[in-house]
């Protein structure tokens, strides 16, 4: 019998839970690429306590996925978990800690039992400033703040994700259109994009996928922490210069991550979600 060329109508989850080996590759599971296929899967959200990561948690719960939120601030973690339906039934789990610490991610995997997808939205703009004003220590901190979480996620994904599982990273459009004073944070974000492609090639034989979303301006607490940007009016004014006339919403940003998680044929890609800003 030939392999079906179309996806099944009913959402299914990958049946292979054990970590596969590259030496005995099995076919990539074929299932519907719609986000509804994420029903019954489990996603670890590193940075899931705010902004895009939290919005991803809401969307994943909406489609029936279980989530494990990981964040450093215990208060923010509790508040985020309380916003998601399903905490009482064990469909929303929490791990407090730094996503750059592999033990924290291992705890998240252990707590969940089975994990199909990892989304990393941890990271900010540490180390911004003109290069001449940066110290060697400041540069190291800027690189570490994003790359440690990325590599910790990469290592746990490589060790523990099942066939059909996915890892999704975050980047930003300034990687393609740099602004002055951003050498350190953008170098780290660019490295994450390279890691995405290199790891995708490495994990493809064992049918695990790696992608990234390159975000434009998204209205999240991260943006609102910028000087003068802590009001709706300021966000609206800044968005007015945008091709589509506004910032993106966290839900719009998170839905790009769900697309990458759900589509079994997406790997090694950096998907831009910027409302056309890069073209303007």
3-state DSSP of 172-228: EHHHCCCCCCCHHHHHHHHHHHHHHHHHHHHHHHHCCEEEEEEECCECCHHHHCCCC
Site mask for ligand NAP (CB under 6 A), range 158-197, x = bound: ------------x-x-------------------------
70 sits near ligand NAP (criterion: CB under 6 A): yes
Closer CB to ligand NAP, residue 9 or residue 179? 179
- As separate numbers, helices (DSSP H) first and strands (DSSP E) second, the chain gives 8, 7
Closer CB to ligand NAP, residue 123 or residue 164? 123
Least Å from the CB of residue 278 to ligand NAP? 12
Query: Would you say 259 and 229 are in contact if contact means Cβ atoms under 8 Å apart?
Result: no
| HSE value, Cβ hemisphere, 13 Å, CA-based, for 270 | 21
Give the number of residues written for the chain: 280
Name the one range near ligand NAP by CB under 6 A: 57-65, 86-94, 121-129, 238-246: 121-129
Q: Could you say which of 211, 220, 263, 272 contacts ligand NAP (CB under 6 A)?
A: 220
CA–CA dist 63, 31 (Å, integer): 15
Q: Which of 219, 273, 255 is nearest to 50 (CA)?
A: 219
Least Å from the CB of residue 157 to ligand NAP? 16
Q: Could you say which of 12, 32, 40, 72 contacts ligand NAP (CB under 6 A)?
A: 72
Query: Would you say 229 and 238 are in contact if contact means Cβ atoms under 8 Å apart?
Result: yes
Which residues sit opposite 172 in a β-bridge?
215
124 sits near ligand NAP (criterion: CB under 6 A): yes
Q: Could you say which of 11, 20, 35, 53 contacts ligand NAP (CB under 6 A)?
A: 53
Q: Could you say which of 13, 37, 45, 52 contacts ligand NAP (CB under 6 A)?
A: 52
User: Scanning residues 140 to 159, which ones bind ligand NAP (CB under 6 A)?
Assistant: 149
Closer CB to ligand NAP, residue 51 or residue 264? 51
Size of the site for ligand NAP (CB under 6 A): 29
Hey, CA dihedral for 192, 196, 202, 208, is it positive or negative? positive
Question: Helical H runs in 36-113?
Answer: 51-62, 74-83, 102-112
Q: Could you say which of 67, 112, 218, 256 contacts ligand NAP (CB under 6 A)?
A: 218
211 sits near ligand NAP (criterion: CB under 6 A): no
* Residue sitting closest to ligand NAP (CB): 51
Q: Which two tokens stand for residue 22?
A: 């590259």
Q: Which two tokens stand for residue 146?
A: 């994003």
Query: Would you say 182 and 128 are in contact if contact means Cβ atoms under 8 Å apart?
Result: yes
Site mask for ligand NAP (CB under 6 A), range 12-51, x = bound: ----------------------------------xx-xxx
CA–CA dist 81, 71 (Å, integer): 11
Least Å from the CB of residue 75 to ligand NAP? 8
Binding stretches for ligand NAP (CB under 6 A): 46-47, 49-53, 70-73, 76, 98-100, 121-124, 149, 170, 172, 215, 217-218, 220-223
């Amino acid at each position: 019998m030939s392999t079906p060329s179309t996806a099944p109508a009913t959402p299914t989850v990958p049946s292979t839970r054990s970590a596969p080996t590259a030496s005995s590759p099995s076919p990539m599971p074929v299932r519907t690429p719609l986000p509804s296929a994420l029903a019954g899967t489990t996603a670890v959200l590193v940075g899931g306590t705010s902004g895009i990561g939290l919005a991803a948690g809401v969307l994943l719960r909406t489609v029936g996925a279980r989530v494990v939120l990981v964040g450093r601030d215990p208060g923010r973690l509790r508040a985020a978990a309380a916003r998601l339906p399903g905490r009482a039934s064990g469909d929303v789990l929490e791990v407090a800690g730094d996503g750059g610490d592999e033990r924290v991610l291992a705890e998240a995997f252990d707590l969940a039992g089975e994990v199909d997808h990892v989304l990393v939205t941890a990271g900010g703009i540490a180390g911004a400033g003109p290069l001449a004003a940066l110290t060697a220590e400041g540069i190291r901190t800027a690189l570490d703040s994003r790359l440690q979480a990325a590599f910790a996620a990469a290592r746990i994904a490589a060790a523990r994700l099942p066939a059909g599982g996915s890892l999704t990273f975050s980047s930003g459009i300034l990687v393609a259109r740099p602004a002055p004073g951003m050498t350190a944070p953008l170098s780290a974000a660019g490295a994450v994009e390279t890691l995405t492609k290199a790891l995708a090639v490495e994990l493809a034989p064992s049918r695990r996928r790696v992608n990234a979303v390159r975000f434009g301006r998204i209205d999240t607490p991260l943006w609102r922490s910028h000087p003068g940007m802590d009001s709706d009016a300021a966000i609206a004014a800044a968005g007015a210069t945008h091709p589509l006339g506004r910032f993106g919403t966290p839900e719009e940003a998170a839905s790009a991550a769900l697309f990458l998680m759900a589509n079994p044929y997406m790997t090694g890609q950096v998907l831009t979600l910027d409302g056309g800003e890069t073209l303007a």
